[in-house]
């Protein structure tokens, strides 16, 4: 199934960046991703596996990279706006011995609620769960669980106000 995803990424990169959304939806579905009707995936978006859900009417900006694990999905809700160069990474490592600090690998799911807005070059790490209506500031590194309708910013991201 991974080969299909790589083929779709290649074909998608050859299409105009902000056109042919219907074709991209169809191609990513064929590769195993669950893509809602009305979702708009721009050119240069890279899915590293099929364990991805993108909700209806969600916008995925160019050069966004989504890296799910075989047991750790990336789920993006409906009516979300994901800016360009956003990174979703489910994989990490336990801290290992002094001989090799990147110990045993693991993957944790990422969940983005409905109506969220994720700013440019934000990074969402495994185990992140955003409630509905969350705004993530550009460049933030997000890990953890956040409630509905908050603005989070920084490295690491923290709640700076309720919306």
Q: What is the dihedral of CA 45, 47, 50, 56, to 10 degrees?
A: -30
pLDDT of 91: 95
> For the chain, what are the domain ranges?
2-162
Reported confidence tier of residue 1, pLDDT bands at 50, 70, 90: very low
Select from 3.40.50.2300, 1.20.1180.10, 2.40.37.10, 2.160.10.10 the CATH code of 2-162.
2.160.10.10
| 9 vs 121: CA distance, rounded Å | 20
DSSP type of residue 69: -
User: How much is the pTM?
Assistant: 0.93
Task: Kindly report which listed range (4-18, 47-61, 135-149) carries the lowest average pLDDT score.
Answer: 4-18
| 133 vs 149: CA distance, rounded Å | 5
Reported confidence tier of residue 2, pLDDT bands at 50, 70, 90: low
Q: Give the residue, 8 or 130, on which the prediction is more confident.
A: 130
pLDDT of 18: 79
pLDDT of 147: 98
| 53 vs 72: CA distance, rounded Å | 12
Q: Which of 9-13, 22-26, 67-71, 83-87 has the highest mean pLDDT?
A: 83-87
Q: Which residues pair with 110 in a beta bridge?
A: 74
Task: Kindly report which listed range (13-27, 73-87, 149-163) carries the lowest average pLDDT score.
Answer: 13-27
Reported confidence tier of residue 103, pLDDT bands at 50, 70, 90: very high
Residues classed as catalytic: 93
């Amino acid at each position: 199934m991974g080969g299909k995803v790589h083929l779709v990424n290649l074909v998608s990169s050859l299409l105009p960046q902000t056109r042919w959304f219907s074709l991209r939806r169809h191609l990513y579905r064929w590769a195993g991703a669950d893509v809602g009707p009305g979702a708009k995936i721009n050119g240069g978006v890279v899915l590293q596996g099929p364990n991805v859900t993108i909700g209806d009417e969600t916008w995925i900006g160019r050069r966004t990279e989504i890296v799910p694990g075989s047991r750790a999905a990336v789920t993006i809700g409906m009516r979300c706006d994901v800016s360009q160069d956003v990174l979703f990474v489910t994989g990490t490592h336990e801290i290992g011995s002094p001989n090799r600090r990147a110990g045993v690998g693991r993957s944790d799911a990422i969940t983005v609620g409905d109506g969220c807005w994720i700013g440019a070059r934000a990074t969402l790490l495994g185990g992140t769960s955003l409630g509905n209506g969350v705004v993530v500031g550009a460049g933030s590194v997000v890990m953890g669980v956040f409630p509905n309708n908050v603005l989070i910013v920084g490295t690491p991201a923290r709640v700076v106000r309720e919306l």
